[in-house]
Structure 1
Amino acid sequence: MNNNRRKFIKSSLSLGAMGMMLPSQITASVAKPEPNISTQILKPEVLFFDINETILDLEPLKKSVNTLLKSNDLGTLWFSTMLQYSFVTSLSNQYFDFGKIGVSALQMVADTNNINITEEQAQNVVKHILNLKPHPDVKEGLQLLKNAGYKMVSFTNSSNFGVQQQLKNASINEFFDDSISVEDFGKFKPDMNVYQWAARKMKTPNNKCLLVAAHGWDIAGALWADWQGAFLRRPGQTLFPLAPKPHFDKANLLELAQELVGLK
């Protein structure tokens, strides 16, 4: 009996010590090994471009959301909510059109702020995502890359119809050699499998794919899929500190293009 009592006390003390450990110590004991992400810059075979906010300016759409909701800042919350619930559907093995998620997200933001809007009002605002203009640096940057012979592909969470309309209405569709929508895969970025699927679709090794994006979550997903990453610092965007650092970190597309054309 004394032996059993001693074992019980020893076990209790061990558990108590665990309880007194700092969170960082506990995390360190169960942390997964850091993936081996290559920081080597290779000349990419294909440039994959995120579209919303990276290439096209979302600010006019966010202002339309603010106008509908009679607010100065809910437009940004709406787009974040739209992204959040696209991730939720992927994690739940579901898929809905990105535009429909946008309408639902707008209704949710309105509801949580005690603002009454109809589904039709939400649809009328969200459809303006098809008519966004490119950022001022985009056309010159794309032209520079095209002149240098780069293969360029749009790679977006928008539907096939949605991205076709976006590129056409922004007068930049002629710069792209191909267009890839996650609609054909049934999951949204940043699911790692989406990037690897896109690489296979373009018959390109992962490490020769370069994602150009203005979202930290998108860059993180690409890097963890063994792609190269180029982050564009659009207003209000930043990198995820826990992700690997991207191969390129530039203020705009023109700056990135000027560096890419010099690669051998």
Structure 2
Amino acid sequence: MPIKACVFDAYGTLFDVAAAAREAAQEPGREAFATHWPKVANDWRLKQLQYTWLRAVTGAHTDFWQVTQEGLDWALEASGLAEPALRERLLQLYWELSAYPEVPEMLKTLKDQGFETAILSNGSPDMLAGAVDSAGIGDVLDDVLSVESVGIFKPDASVYELVTNRFGCARDAVLFVSSNGWDAAGAAGFGFTTAWVNRAGEPMDRLPWTPHHVLSDLTTIPDLARA
């Protein structure tokens, strides 16, 4: 079936989740943090995701802002950087994450070609609104869908179902794009056509499903959608 809607994960896919730590490390007076920021950024993201999975399987849902803060607290403590001012600055910057360079033009091309576009994210609505506004991409998105409307994180099937309900289309009419291999795999299991944006060249996750496409960035998404 032809693709009708192109739907994107947000954090790590459209928005660079390492940007907050990287930008903070470049600020005056943060020389000590500058030597630690790659580890903090990696630990922060890993714990953030782990906490969503644990909350999903135990039924202990909270919003993404809570797990984002808890993941950062773990990451800072692991690097011996439990400084309130640094924590506050990193959280502030997380609301202003940079989009990857190819994102605005890629989304504009999709819209010009007649595709519907959306975000489907673990992020809470206010967090996503801040990121979309900061990146200036609101005019090339038809919707921003958050797991908060179903009260469970990905990869629960009810999250992916938000897309088919919103666009009134069959599952295989959706091209779902994520930088998380497990997310792209889970969406493939749901029935979406999926693309994994594997910027870091990581191995494929050992799961029952695999993404249909593996890309190094988002540049070719319009070509993939047309094909």
Instruction: Output the TM-score relative to the length of structure 1.
Output: 0.75
Question: Is residue 2:178 matched to residue 1:209?
Answer: no
Question: Is residue 2:57 matched to residue 1:91?
Answer: yes
Q: Once the 2 structures are TM-superposed, how far is the Cα of residue 151 of structure 1 from its aligned partner?
A: 0.5
Q: Is the 8 A contact 2:21 2:90 kept in 1?
A: no
Aligned to 1:46: 5
Q: Which amino acid aligns with 1:134?
A: A
Q: Once the 2 structures are TM-superposed, how far is the Cα of residue 188 of structure 1 from its aligned partner?
A: 0.9
Q: Which amino acid aligns with 1:101?
A: V
Q: Is the 8 A contact 2:117 2:140 kept in 1?
A: yes
RMSD: 2.2
**Aligned with 2:117: secondary structure?**
strand
Correspondence for 1:176 among 119, 128, 141: 141
Structure 2 gaps, min length 5:
none
Q: Deviations over 1:81-115 (max 9, x none)?
A: 01110111111112222122111111122334444
- Point out the structure with max Rg over C-alpha: 1
Aligned to 1:200: 165
Q: Once the 2 structures are TM-superposed, how far is the Cα of residue 148 of structure 1 from its aligned partner?
A: 0.7
**Aligned with 2:99: secondary structure?**
coil
Structure 1: how far apart are the matches of 2:2 and 2:214? 16
Aligned to 1:222: 187
Q: Once the 2 structures are TM-superposed, how far is the Cα of residue 122 of structure 1 from its aligned partner?
A: 2.4
Q: Which amino acid aligns with 2:50?
A: Q
Which fold has the larger relative contact order, with Cα–Cα distance below 8 Å and residues 6 or more apart in sequence?
2
Aligned to 2:77: 111
Listed as ranges, the matches of 1:251-262 within 5 Å are 251-261=216-226
Aligned to 2:22: 63
Aligned to 1:158: 123
Structure 1: how far apart are the matches of 2:88 and 2:207? 36
Percent of paired sites with the same residue: 23
Structure 2: how far apart are the matches of 1:107 and 1:188? 20
Structure 2: how far apart are the matches of 1:239 and 1:204? 29
User: Structure 1 113/129 Cα, relative in aligned 2: closer, same or farther at 3 Å?
Assistant: closer
Q: Once the 2 structures are TM-superposed, how far is the Cα of residue 46 of structure 1 from its aligned partner?
A: 1.4
Q: Which amino acid aligns with 1:164?
A: A
Aligned to 1:78: 44
Q: Is the 8 A contact 2:118 2:142 kept in 1?
A: yes
Structure 2: how far apart are the matches of 1:58 and 1:238? 20
Q: Deviations over 1:20-74 (max 9, x none)?
A: xxxxxxxxxxxxxxxxxxxxxx322211111111111223213257665851422
Question: Is residue 2:90 matched to residue 1:125?
Answer: yes
Aligned to 2:214: 249
Structure 1 gaps, min length 5:
1-41
Deviates more, 1:186-195 or 1:78-87: 186-195
